[in-house]
Chain A
Amino acid sequence: MATQQGDSGTDGGSVRRRWEPRIERLKRGWDRYTEHRIGVVGLVILVVFTLWSIIPGVFAPHSTEWIAYIGEPPIESRLTAEQVRSLPHPPAFGDPFFAPLGTNANGNGILSLLIYSAKNAMYIGLAAGLLSSLVGVPLGLISGFYGDTWIDEAIQRFVDIMYGLPFLPFLIVLVAIRGITTTNIIIGIAVTSWLNNCITVRGETLSLKERSYVESAKVAGASDTRIIFRHIMPNVLPISFVFLAQDAAGAVIAQASLAYLGLADFTANSWGIMLENIKSQGYIFDAWWWLLPPGLALMLMAASFYFIGFSMEDVTNPQR
């Protein structure tokens, strides 16, 4: 419990006393988060991927344009036939060049590609997750709070129709109409993934609005907006955070599967495209150093989102 500090009446003091319990709460939340090692592992992985996507140059040994034997652009010479035959080259540490995870068939370093692709995956994961939360949570709140009215009915029937959309065919059509860009893929993923969010939040809201603290707020004269934002939303945010993490993981994987099917922006670097390339160039059984890293990276990113979601559930929904 926070203790009284500073003189009452001074502005700084009152603001400080106001926020103290919340800061205290955050600290307690962090303690609960770290109770599970899995959450910490997820957080560490995510921090690494975040750093990769913000400052890839620090981690990657070369740029994405780097070519084995020749080096960084500008590229003036050409590979000899013998050199081309040695590609994709297995991991090499300085002799004849430095590529810790080997190269692909074009001579690009796998580790560099992997690190530079993290940005794309993070972008897609967070954008799709946030977008689907931004659509799903408010709609779920409204639908639940006005449960059993035409508003709820309309939203839920719309959700039902959207559930009827098959995910991949829908994305293929969307991308075929609007063109293969990362933005379109994010929109396509968000359009289909907000549904779970909406339905879960609605269910939670339906139960929360019957709590007597909501009723006592009503008795005190609170408006609908106040009840939704002060009393219901803080209590559904934890769940929606879990869904945000899951949606993000789902989106990264969905984008990779689209890329594998050839439905991705090929000018971008992405783990899915790396996998698609190894398939189309026929090295799946020969170049393990090319095949495994992007798959593992995808797995780790999805896992980190899930781990964080798992631990967040403990923070936000303490059981004792």
Chain B
Amino acid sequence: MDRAEDREPLVEIDGLRKLFDQSQGIIDTVLGREPQPVRAVDGVSLDIHKGDIVGIAGESGCGKTTLGKMLVKLHEPTEGAIRFDGNDITEMTREEEREFRKRVQMIFQDPFESLNPRMTVYDTIAEPLKINDMVGDYDARRDRVKQVLEDVGLGPAEVYLDAFPDELSGGERQRIAIARALVVDPDFIVCDEPVSMLDVSIRAGVLNLMKELQDEYDLTYLFISHDLSLIRYMCDRAGIMYLGNMVEQGPTDDIIDDPKHPYTEALFDAVPDVELGEERRRANATGEVPSPRNPPSGCRYHPRCAHIIPPDGWDGTQEAFRRAYQFKLKVRRGDLSAESAESADIADAEALVEHGLTLDIPEEYRSETEIESGGSKVDIARIDLPPAARETLVDAAGAVLDGDTEGALATLDEAITTPCESRRPEPQPAGTREVACHLYDEPGFEELDSSTAGIAPAAAED
């Protein structure tokens, strides 16, 4: 079972939200434009228990760094609460904040940026001590700094004390950044991609050092990384983020062995496998990450999802629905238009439908005609589209060819709908973890395509 259950959480994050760029320029105000903030973190809840290493993974731009910075009070949350040891950190008095600063530290990604080039190693590491008035005089501080330097494996410390960062290697710099975080003897450290800028050859050393220090200093880590193998190596629990949402969280091994959220699955497929002879599976996801300024409605992942849920009355396969839905998105994005049809030599509506139903995914997931035509055409007869849907698609394609994109969209919006688009999934308990996906909302999706059929739907609690 989950061993975290019976312990007090050290950090509780509740409905955390951070919007950037909420202010507008004068011109926008005059023209009455709505502000379009970047929704960096949008409704994340997470508990971090004492002594755990919690990993946060996700593509770049998913808000994981912003989340980490909010935990150390570098950014103020727009909404939601962060409780550290029971106290809300957004409403601290000056005295409480001083105490908080001694207990929480952060290690940054780039060791070439995180050390002031004009300060010696001693000055850098001693700074938190000076700010917090922790160790009295110069010699006592110097002894403490030496001790920490030796703890992070930089011994003899004398050699490093008076060096400037530009004399040190990346690994040494990152160890110094770790020493600076440790010097105040904190309880909780946020590590933002701590080894991603280091040479692969020295990563393991730094990671093992961090693990050793965890025991020695009795630390709790929040480990932010895009590298899943690293999360697997370091973390007891993991959270997967996508576009500011936490899509799945739970014990690391469970998440890795049996990813429940379609995004997690795609993310793990995207990691190259080194095992020889094994056919590499690639991510079954379409398109790019949408802009966090204007995220998709409902489930953030639905436009890219391989397991998008068809509407109730749909009698074709889930794959057919996915294709039909992609057709709609292409029309909406303007990828399919009269001009694009002309340049691709497509004259009639049927051909445009066949062109639009293709999916931009790795070869192993494609249909035969798609592979033959290099991804530009799919045989409509082989797709199990319901006749009504097929008719709608052809109608819409006709409208697109006539240049009436809005008409086509109206037709499509009526017929091709999905619950993923209209409702936002709440995190549901699913086995040992929490998943935010409509697939786990209620039972009764066995008729989905074969790859999802294996996942037992969780008890509905919506």
Contacts and interface: CB of A to CB of B under 8 A. Distances in A.
Mutual binders A and B:
yes
Interface of A: 1-4, 8-9, 14, 17-18, 20-21, 24-25, 211-213, 215-223, 226, 230-231, 234-235, 318
B138 A215 contact: no
A222 B130 CA distance: 9
Given A20-B162, A219-B101, A220-B105, A8 B113 contact: no
A221 B132 contact: yes
Contacts of A18: 138
B402 to A, nearest CB: 48
Interface in B154-212: 158-159, 162-164, 166-167, 177, 180-181, 184
B162 A215 contact: no
Contact of A221 (B113, B128, B164): B128
Contacts of A215: 69, 74, 106, 108, 114
- Most A Cβ at <10 Å: residue of B105, B109, B116, B127: B116
Contact of A218 (B74, B115, B119, B139): B74
A8 B137 CA distance: 12
Contacts of B98: 221
25 contacts: A1-B159, A1-B163, A1-B167, A14-B138, A18-B138, A21-B162, A21-B164, A25-B164, A211-B113, A212-B113, A212-B114, A215-B74, A217-B127, A219-B74, A219-B106, A220-B127, A220-B128, A220-B132, A220-B180, A221-B102, A221-B128, A222-B127, A222-B131, A230-B116, A234-B118
A8 B139 contact: yes
B416 interface: no
Interface in B112-135: 113-120, 124, 127-128, 131-132
A2 B158 CA distance: 9
Nearest to A22: B120
Given A8-B139, A220-B101, 16 more contacts: A14-B138, A212-B110, A215-B106, A216-B106, A216-B177, A219-B101, A219-B105, A220-B127, A221-B128, A223-B131, A226-B131, A230-B116, A230-B127, A235-B116, A235-B117, A318-B166
Nearest to B121: A21
Interface of B: 69, 72-74, 97-98, 101-102, 104-106, 108-110, 113-120, 124, 127-128, 131-132, 138-139, 142, 158-159, 162-164, 166-167, 177, 180-181, 184
A233 B113 CA distance: 16
Contacts of A25: 164
A211 to B, nearest CB: 5
Nearest to A217: B127
B106 A213 contact: no
A14 B184 CA distance: 22
B164 to A, nearest CB: 7
A221 B101 contact: yes
A8 B73 CA distance: 38
A223 B127 CA distance: 12
Contacts of B128: 220-221
B254 to A, nearest CB: 32
A217 B167 CA distance: 21
The main secondary structure of chain A at its interface with chain B is helix
Nearest to A8: B139
B118 A235 contact: yes
Contacts of A235: 116-118
Contacts of A3: 158
A14 B177 CA distance: 24
A8 B128 CA distance: 22
A152 to B, nearest CB: 13
A147 to B, nearest CB: 13
A151 to B, nearest CB: 15
A17 B141 CA distance: 13
Nearest to B112: A212
A127 B181 CA distance: 44
Residue among B106, B113, B159, B162 with the highest chain A CB neighbour number at 10 A: B162
A160 B105 CA distance: 41
Nearest to A231: B116
A2 B132 contact: no
B162 A2 contact: yes
Nearest to A25: B164
A14 B139 contact: yes
Contacts of B167: 1
Contact of A219 (B104, B138, B162): B104
Given A220-B128, A220-B132, A9 B139 contact: yes
A17 B126 CA distance: 15
A21 B108 contact: no
B164 A213 contact: no
Contacts of B104: 219
A19 to B, nearest CB: 10
B21 to A, nearest CB: 10
A4 B143 CA distance: 13
B4 to A, nearest CB: 26
Sort A-B residue pairs by CB-CB distance and give the 10 closest, nearest first. A221-B101, A220-B128, A212-B108, A212-B114, A21-B162, A213-B116, A2-B162, A234-B118, A219-B106, A212-B113
A21 B165 CA distance: 13
Contact of B162 (A1, A213, A318): A1
B120 A21 contact: yes
Nearest to B100: A221
A73 B337 CA distance: 96
A21 B142 CA distance: 14
